[in-house]
Chain A
């Protein structure tokens, strides 16, 4: 379902990010435009099978988020390639492209379109989204009047209304008040257990152990271990105990 083949990602870090033409010319003239290469992912390869729930663990800065972005298609790797089969829903950010001036209803369609849903799909799921978000009549108000909790509820309801073939999750999102947090957590677990292929990043090793079949461990921008959840989690815990 997801083939990650020898993916290497390097960022060119200029001494200082050159932002204007003048600075650029000056930098070239002074021959100061030397780039430092920063390798974020180094020859990473693994495969996620259809219907599998794959966890990714690693320290902060190990390259987990970059890897997810590459798989989601937001970033293009410097070398190597990623093949994905099926529609991907990356749950990296909720409420992308919300417009403050538009009403909740208009934002459902806007945000849905950005996430790649079709009009027919949104029409048929609209009531479900409205129900789940518990916004009721507020849905016709411009969202600049929403509280942050209401915003997150709406965003979450839109993002999780699909049954994607591939789901990319960066931490399980639990938003809103306690009631909604439980509801949203259930929704996530339901999505992840519903036969979809899931790529799941979390810092909670307990959650990973509970949810995932196999786990990739990234360490220093490389793959340190790919194995079943039990094996990797065991090793990972041991690693943290030593450090």
Chain B
């Protein structure tokens, strides 16, 4: 009872620490995402914008804040004099919210001019704005701005209050606050509350001598923890037993694979990808872990047939230990990944503390899939060969060495449905960008991992009593 209370207090404290740490590390990324409107291709130019002319473009903000507007200008390739005056008006009251006078010699022909507001506008989601451009330039020395085909839902531009059937070639940027970031503390408190209630109920039930889930888990760990450790150590010890370089292979393997891929693909994709070596290495390491863990887990039940028919132990131990043994390898190969990250000049930020989350999800995913396939394997030996083909397809469907942008828009759904893509993307964001991924990514990772894990466990549990009859 006392011991339990202490355990639960530690558990609770850990929860609070993780919640706060995550808030700090996640930083801006979990609060909002940056939204940029699309820039439409240029179709033409408005007439020369000399003094007295007024151009207006109204638009609705799609983000919560607005902090800059960019616009494409034209100078006719000559030296102009005077200033352009940009102003942003409230669409309803026509009140000026912000303005700036730009000397026209700053403008570039067919170049974007970015007007960064001196103060951000808040709470502007779906609000109507008018972007107005006026001029003080003499005729013949005035620049102009470019226009594009009008987009759906954007009102046409006006020149001197006359509607034109075009829109400015412009872009506005702002922050869109995420629901998750906004209600973060509420979520933390709600989850904390649920945990607290559960803890209180458990303590109460245990004090009345009832059997509870934590007791069950403790029992399992006490009984089989040593066995699991022994099996994992065994697998790890014999993996490189008679090789000269031994454990060093866990280190070298991903590096060498990365080098080969780098030389093969660098000309093709290098320019599209920021930090190609780290991009390659993170994909290689995670995918080869996945391949190895599931490949081993898949045959784990069958390979241990002599044990299963002779000694009783829970059968889920076989796939789980195989995945855990492979994960030792994964942890070792993260070292070269970090080294390459540092060598290639990325800054290691606190975001790196988020890596365990991706690894945890990947582990769950592999355990679930191993259980599922190991059960299938007992009844149909073909599973092994089908799996060989499936991993090959899976490998090419995952952006390991190519940028995800080369997949056409209409097939992006394949990426979204691929849990490995999310795990790998998570790691890349953390290492290459040095920031936390967006809240959506956490969600995809966790949900796909839990889903497969639950499906795998159910299938395994339902079929495990029949294993011994088929192996």
Contacts and interface: CB of A to CB of B under 8 A. Distances in A.
B238 A21 contact: no
B226 A118 contact: yes
A4 to B, nearest CB: 16
Given A19-B380, A102-B237, A72 B465 contact: no
B208 to A, nearest CB: 24
Contacts of A12: 469
Contacts, number: 70
Interface string B184-209: 00000000000000000000000000
Interface string A59-72: 00000000001001
Interface in A48-83: 69, 72-76
B226 A115 contact: no
Contacts of B242: 101
Contacts of A119: 226
Interface in A4-56: 11-12, 17, 19-22, 24
A152 interface: no
Nearest to B311: A96
B226 to A, nearest CB: 5
B390 interface: no
Contact of A11 (B227, B308, B469): B469
B230 A96 contact: no
B223 interface: yes
Contacts of B313: 114, 116
A20 B313 CA distance: 27
A165 interface: no
9 contacts: A24-B380, A69-B309, A74-B468, A90-B310, A92-B311, A93-B310, A96-B306, A96-B311, A116-B223
Given A20-B381, A99-B238, A102-B238, A109 B309 contact: no
B92 interface: no
Contacts of B311: 72, 74, 90, 92-93, 96-97, 114-115
Nearest to B237: A102
Given A19-B381, A24-B380, A109-B230, A74 B238 contact: no
Interface in B212-242: 223, 226-227, 229-231, 234, 237-238, 241-242
B382 A20 contact: yes
Interface residues of B, number: 27
A11 B381 CA distance: 20
A102 B382 CA distance: 32
Contacts of B309: 69, 74
B312 interface: yes
A113 B226 contact: yes
A90 B311 CA distance: 7
A145 to B, nearest CB: 13
Interface string A104-118: 001001100111101
A19 B379 CA distance: 7
Interface string B236-261: 01100110000000000000000000
Given A20-B381, A73-B312, 7 more contacts: A20-B382, A21-B382, A74-B310, A96-B311, A99-B238, A106-B237, A116-B227
A20 B469 CA distance: 15
Contacts of B382: 20-22
Nearest to B229: A113
Interface in B54-111: none
A114 B227 contact: yes
Contact of A96 (B223, B310, B468, B470): B310
B307 interface: yes
Contacts of B227: 113-114, 116
Contact of A76 (B231, B237, B310, B465): B465
Nearest to A99: B234
A7 to B, nearest CB: 15
Interface in A113-133: 113-116, 118-119
Contacts of B234: 99, 102, 106, 110
Contacts of A24: 380
A74 B231 CA distance: 19
Nearest to A111: B230
Interface string B276-313: 00000000000000000000000000001011111111
A21 B238 CA distance: 33
A92 B242 CA distance: 32
A107 B470 CA distance: 28
Q: Which interface residue of B237, B238, B311, B469 has the most chain A CB atoms within 10 A?
A: B311
A52 to B, nearest CB: 22
A101 B237 contact: yes
A113 B306 CA distance: 16
A114 B312 CA distance: 9
A72 B312 CA distance: 7
Contact of A114 (B238, B307, B470): B307
B301 to A, nearest CB: 14
A101 B230 contact: no
B238 A97 contact: no
Contacts of A99: 234, 238
Given A76-B465, A102-B234, A92 B226 contact: no
A92 B306 CA distance: 12
The 3 closest A-B pairs by CB, nearest first: A73-B312, A113-B230, A113-B227
A20 to B, nearest CB: 5
